[in-house]
């Protein structure tokens, strides 16, 4: 698969899909508190998508070598790095959870995720979530024509590691459009001046997975999907879908409830 460049109607299709994905997270936000199960979160998301007229991209998704994914979104709690499958276990005060939503609208895919803190969480967990959010934006703010993907990965890695955290290497961002996963791969580590050059019309996700401990991960259990930290340390992730414009970037997965960019972005 090669990189796809979106024309004006394609960009508009991606804008709408991105906003709708983000609005699912807005809809879920007031419900994510101690006592709710991740299966409840999944059910609420499915209800929201039905109201929107969107389809979940994850439900039944089956890349080669994987079983079909059984839910409308991914919920990754505490030391789960990514692809956590919703279950009947209630979230408790102090948990952190990443909720990752991808919707399909008119054939276009919108992909975004946020961290949620369940009740009062530890200072360490709060800091991990905040630094991971800032790391994503360190990558986003470098997006413009002529920049290379290695520049984005380097900015994220340098920021995360300078704050004492580690960057997961096995999973990365990806091109997105009329397919869930397109070229290019968007690594969250790397060397400046390397990998593909950014050009207007490219759309891709930036979604760093940052660990409080070591960067090593492993599969958990035998569900074929859930990935956890090897050392059982906390992990956090945020994700936006981004468009390369003629002069910079546009974040496509914004909605009324999106957290604002960090102050350094506008500075």
Give per-residue pLDDT as tens, 180-216: 999 999 999 999 999 999 999 999 999 999 999 999 9
Q: Which residues make beta-bridge pairs with 205?
A: 241
* Closest C-alpha to 75, from 63, 89, 54: 89
pLDDT at position 221 is 82
Separation CA 31–CA 26 (nearest Å):
10
Q: What is the mean pLDDT of residues 244-257?
A: 98
pLDDT at position 222 is 86
Separation CA 39–CA 73 (nearest Å):
10
Q: What is the pLDDT of residues 63-113, one digit of tens each?
A: 999 999 999 999 999 999 999 999 999 999 999 999 999 999 999 999 999
Q: What is the pLDDT of residues 207-241, one digit of tens each?
A: 999 999 999 999 998 899 999 999 999 999 999 99
pLDDT at position 266 is 86
Asked whether residue 246 carries a pLDDT value surpassing 90, the answer given is yes
To the question of domain 8-266 being in CATH 3.40.1190.20, the answer is: no
What DSSP character marks residue 31?
A: G
Separation CA 80–CA 217 (nearest Å):
9
Q: What is the pLDDT of residues 99-119, one digit of tens each?
A: 999 999 999 999 999 999 999
Token pair, residue 18, equals 């991105």
What DSSP character marks residue 192?
A: T
Separation CA 240–CA 152 (nearest Å):
14
Rounded percentage of the chain residues whose pLDDT exceeds 70: 100
* pTM over 0.85, yes/no: yes
The 10 Å Cβ neighbour count of residue 88 is 8
Q: What is the mean pLDDT of residues 139-157?
A: 98
Separation CA 266–CA 238 (nearest Å):
19
* Closest C-alpha to 58, from 69, 46, 42: 69
Separation CA 249–CA 247 (nearest Å):
7
Separation CA 153–CA 149 (nearest Å):
6
Asked whether residue 152 carries a pLDDT value surpassing 80, the answer given is yes
Cis peptide before 35 (omega within 30 of 0): no
Token pair, residue 243, equals 């468009």
Token pair, residue 37, equals 């199960």
Residue 1: band (very low, low, confident or very high) from pLDDT cuts 50, 70, 90: low
Residues 6+ apart with CB under 8 A from 137: 261, 262, 264, 265
* Averaged pLDDT of the chain: 97
């Amino acid at each position: 698969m090669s990189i796809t460049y979106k024309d004006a109607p394609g960009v508009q299709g991606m804008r709408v899909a991105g906003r709708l994905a983000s609005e699912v997270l807005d809809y879920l936000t007031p419900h994510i508190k101690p006592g709710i199960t991740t299966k409840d979160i999944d059910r609420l998301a499915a209800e929201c998508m039905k109201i929107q007229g969107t389809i979940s991209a994850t439900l039944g998704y089956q890349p080669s070598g994987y079983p079909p994914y059984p839910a409308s979104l991914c919920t990754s709690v505490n030391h789960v790095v990514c692809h956590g499958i919703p279950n009947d276990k209630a979230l408790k005060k102090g948990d952190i959870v990443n909720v990752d939503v991808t919707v399909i609208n008119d054939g276009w895919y919108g992909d975004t995720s946020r961290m949620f803190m369940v009740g009062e969480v530890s200072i360490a967990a709060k800091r991990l979530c905040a630094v991971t959010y800032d790391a994503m934006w360190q990558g986003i703010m470098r997006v413009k024509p002529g920049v290379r993907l290695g520049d984005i990965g380097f900015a994220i890695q340098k920021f995360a590691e300078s704050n004492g955290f580690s960057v997961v290497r096995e999973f990365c961002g990806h091109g997105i459009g009329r397919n869930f996963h397109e070229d290019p791969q968007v690594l969250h580590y790397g060397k400046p001046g390397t990998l593909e050059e950014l050009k207007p019309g490219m759309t891709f996700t930036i979604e760093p997975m940052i660990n409080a401990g070591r960067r090593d991960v492993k599969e958990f259990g035998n569900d074929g999907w859930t990935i956890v930290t090897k050392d059982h340390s906390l992990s956090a992730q945020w994700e936006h879908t981004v468009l390369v414009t003629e002069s910079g970037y546009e974040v496509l997965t914004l909605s009324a409830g999106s957290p604002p960019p960090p102050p350094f972005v506008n500075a």
